[in-house]
Chain A
């Protein structure tokens, strides 16, 4: 088995970001006094790491907790429990969950976010100069003429003209707005970017432009991405490794090649088999899931996937499986992760 870790210099062999047991429960409140009557387990003990310079894809269906996971990393949402270890260039190795208000501001210089909706994420009442310059000004990184120069440089970097600086967002189309959002995210020269479905609101031809731009910028600026998306083809294209989430938990994590060719979790298999492929030739085998995604406020016992799983046995109903490393770098949360032989969407080249 080849080494599936990304090629990296020895200095950065320690991951840039390590997430351990990350948990976010949203309380369900009812009645006049807002009594807590239950919990939505949006993110439930999630573990993963991201190496410097790589892209980790985080996929799953709506409501699986992928967006919440991404937002917890910036503390845009306060996590309930867990550790988020980040190698900050200034602060050193810190647990983001434990930082105070001032420190979190410092860390947010290095961890930035790109939003899904190119219309909702830009303040329509501010010019590009103010939008892209906001992090620089608020973080005290630049002001006056310097700030303007930096904004101009950022706009150029994402493929927009610097003279657009005085315009408002309404002058731009969806794809261009996503470029503006990218310029804002990258303005403080971050190390890590959480990309929350950055292309899913865009048309196909524009989506390709933004994906290419993301890759170019990653190379130029040495960025590390957590790429949250529901479109598996897009995730496969951009990610080095991919994590699959189901009802608040990561059920499988492996290199892109492994995950798409030989998945080890039945949910991953079903997910891959459901992708509509732009290829008119008939598919070999199709796994169709029955039933519905489990309710994160009231999940089933044992393995959350067992009511829909065609390989389920008694143990799956009673015991929650461990998140195991079945082959180097390939983690699966399934009792039969080592035994099942499942079908991917891409065939391994014959060797």
Chain B
């Protein structure tokens, strides 16, 4: 019992209270009456890195959900006069040394006489302050509500704000990353959801029935795990017709990703099922006259849901990387769909990287998302079983 007290913040034991059985009114009563999820939460809250990761991921998913509003421009909007523009520099002090709200200078485009590439020079006479809630490109929020309100921008089509620069066609990289998050961050969720169903059902069957079913499922897993992932994906992806609608391709890509993803979860579920069957409290439930269904639902499932959540969280980064890899190789999603992987296709050759290094910024987002999921999974794993002291 003592080890658990560790997860209860601000706990202060009164001297001798536990010797005389504490009355229902002591401060610890809240801890004593806390169920599994409450304990998991308390324990999770003590894991700083995981909490930080949770906040970062929350922001990323917020961006993905409200991409139309959060991004300054339409991701397909081509600013013809500003192609391949490096990231804008944001100033708070003007040429006369006065402090002002963040602003950017206007830009003058020229061409390099040798390479014929556009070169931008700052025009310090024109100042474009960065404003919140500006009107700009029109969009239909979630395809439903028409609006033209954006969280931030210059609000002036003469000088758009390119925080992460623009690509060859003059599209805003930041806006594209925000839109791309939609696909890249959800492909993981949906893939994991499919893995979850497959893993839970097949792992559960193997663990509950044992014997031949168990053998069969485990051998299938052995075979799947031994297949090299990238060639398999490539083969499957190559089989997808190129003229399918984007949504359908997207859906099939997630299925391809989850074909390999379910195996680890099935193993977790099977193992937990096998070990829980041997628990004294499960035998006791049987002797209490609980039905098989009750035993599974009330005694066994709650025993490993937290483990499932952990292993799902840990599986998401793999899915995100999978989508990125597939699209980068050109066998997953294609333009005009926007995903981080698709964006990285533009940065495939050394020349581009040398001249437009800002096109690599989606990588930073991929790394951030993957790292944060791993941190979150770490924290969840530590908190998953609050009953182990």
Task: Choose from A108, A116, A125 the contact partner of B287 (Cβ within 8 Å).
Answer: A108
Least Cβ distance of A182 to chain B in Å?
12
Q: Does A126 lie within 8 Å of B287, measured CB to CB?
A: no
Least Cβ distance of B11 to chain A in Å?
12
Q: Does B32 lie within 8 Å of A171, measured CB to CB?
A: yes
Q: Does B289 lie within 8 Å of A113, measured CB to CB?
A: no
Interface residues on B, range: 35 or more
Tell me which residues across on chain A come within 8 A of B211, comparing CB atoms. Answer: 34
Tell me which residues across on chain B come within 8 A of A124, comparing CB atoms. Answer: 36, 387
Given the known interface contacts A123-B299, A125-B302, A138-B289, the answer about A115 and B31 at a Cβ–Cβ threshold of 8 Å is no
Q: Does A168 lie within 8 Å of B34, measured CB to CB?
A: yes
Q: Does A120 lie within 8 Å of B33, measured CB to CB?
A: no
Tell me which residues across on chain A come within 8 A of B298, comparing CB atoms. Answer: 123, 126
Mask of B86-121 contacts with A, CB within 8 angstroms, 1/0? 000000000000000000000000000000000000
Instruction: Kindly specify which of B275-283, B344-352, B360-368 makes contact with the partner chain.
Output: B275-283
Assembly CA distance A68 to B387 (angstroms): 28
Tell me which residues across on chain B come within 8 A of A166, comparing CB atoms. Answer: 33
Task: Choose from A108, A109, A168 the contact partner of B33 (Cβ within 8 Å).
Answer: A168
Q: Does B34 lie within 8 Å of A138, measured CB to CB?
A: no
Which chain A residues in 93-144 approach chain B with CB under 8 Å?
Answer: 105, 108-109, 112-113, 115-117, 120-127, 134-135, 138-139
Q: Does A120 lie within 8 Å of B279, measured CB to CB?
A: yes
Given the known interface contacts A125-B36, A166-B33, the answer about A115 and B284 at a Cβ–Cβ threshold of 8 Å is yes
B14 at the interface (CB under 8 A from A): no
A172 at the interface (CB under 8 A from B): yes
Assembly CA distance A160 to B280 (angstroms): 22
Binding site of B, secondary structure by majority: helix, strand, loop or mixed? Answer: helix
Give how many A-B residue pairs fall within 8 Å (CB-CB).
84
Residue from B1, B21, B287 with most neighbouring chain A CB atoms (10 Å): B287
Which chain B residues in 243-296 approach chain A with CB under 8 Å?
Answer: 279-281, 283-291, 294
Q: Does A171 lie within 8 Å of B31, measured CB to CB?
A: yes
Tell me which residues across on chain A come within 8 A of B35, comparing CB atoms. Answer: 125, 127, 168
Least Cβ distance of A173 to chain B in Å?
6
Assembly CA distance A127 to B291 (angstroms): 19
Least Cβ distance of A91 to chain B in Å?
15
Task: Choose from B32, B280, B290 the contact partner of A138 (Cβ within 8 Å).
Answer: B290
Q: Does A113 lie within 8 Å of B302, measured CB to CB?
A: no
Tell me which residues across on chain B come within 8 A of A170, comparing CB atoms. Answer: 1, 4, 32, 39, 386-387
Q: Does B32 lie within 8 Å of A123, measured CB to CB?
A: no
Assembly CA distance A109 to B288 (angstroms): 8
Task: Choose from A105, A108, A138 the contact partner of B294 (Cβ within 8 Å).
Answer: A138
Q: Does A135 lie within 8 Å of B32, measured CB to CB?
A: no
Tell me which residues across on chain A come within 8 A of B28, comparing CB atoms. Answer: 171
B223 at the interface (CB under 8 A from A): no
Tell me which residues across on chain B come within 8 A of A34, comparing CB atoms. Answer: 211
B303 at the interface (CB under 8 A from A): yes
Tell me which residues across on chain A come within 8 A of B387, comparing CB atoms. Answer: 124, 170
Interface residues on A, range: 35 or more
Assembly CA distance A167 to B24 (angstroms): 10
Given the known interface contacts A124-B387, A168-B35, A184-B284, the answer about A135 and B289 at a Cβ–Cβ threshold of 8 Å is yes
Q: Does B1 lie within 8 Å of A171, measured CB to CB?
A: yes
Mask of A165-185 contacts with B, CB within 8 angstroms, 1/0? 011101111000000010010
Nearest opposing residue in chain A for B303, CB measure:
A125
Q: Does B280 lie within 8 Å of A115, measured CB to CB?
A: yes
Tell me which residues across on chain B come within 8 A of A181, comparing CB atoms. Answer: 284
Assembly CA distance A32 to B212 (angstroms): 10
Least Cβ distance of B213 to chain A in Å?
13
Nearest opposing residue in chain A for B29, CB measure:
A167
A231 at the interface (CB under 8 A from B): no
Q: Does A117 lie within 8 Å of B283, measured CB to CB?
A: no
Mask of B31-70 contacts with A, CB within 8 angstroms, 1/0? 1111110010000000000000000000000000000000
Assembly CA distance A123 to B215 (angstroms): 29
A206 at the interface (CB under 8 A from B): no
Mask of B296-335 contacts with A, CB within 8 angstroms, 1/0? 0011001100000000000000000000000000000000
Assembly CA distance A55 to B289 (angstroms): 25
Given the known interface contacts A76-B287, A170-B32, the answer about A161 and B21 at a Cβ–Cβ threshold of 8 Å is yes
Assembly CA distance A167 to B291 (angstroms): 24
Q: Does A120 lie within 8 Å of B4, measured CB to CB?
A: no
A215 at the interface (CB under 8 A from B): no
A85 at the interface (CB under 8 A from B): no
Assembly CA distance A115 to B287 (angstroms): 12
Q: Does B1 lie within 8 Å of A138, measured CB to CB?
A: no
Q: Does A134 lie within 8 Å of B285, measured CB to CB?
A: yes
Q: Nearest 10 A-B pairs (CB), nearest first? A: A171-B32, A138-B289, A121-B280, A135-B288, A167-B32, A163-B24, A120-B280, A124-B387, A123-B281, A134-B288
29 examples of A-B residue contacts, CB within 8 angstroms: A32-B215, A34-B211, A76-B283, A76-B286, A108-B287, A108-B288, A112-B287, A113-B287, A120-B279, A121-B284, A122-B281, A123-B285, A125-B303, A126-B298, A127-B33, A134-B285, A135-B287, A135-B288, A138-B289, A139-B288, A161-B21, A161-B23, A163-B24, A166-B33, A167-B32, A170-B1, A170-B39, A170-B387, A173-B1
Give me 13 other A-B pairs in contact (C-beta within 8 A), A120-B280, A123-B281, A170-B387 excluded: A113-B284, A113-B287, A115-B284, A123-B285, A124-B36, A139-B289, A161-B23, A166-B33, A168-B33, A170-B1, A172-B1, A184-B284, A184-B288
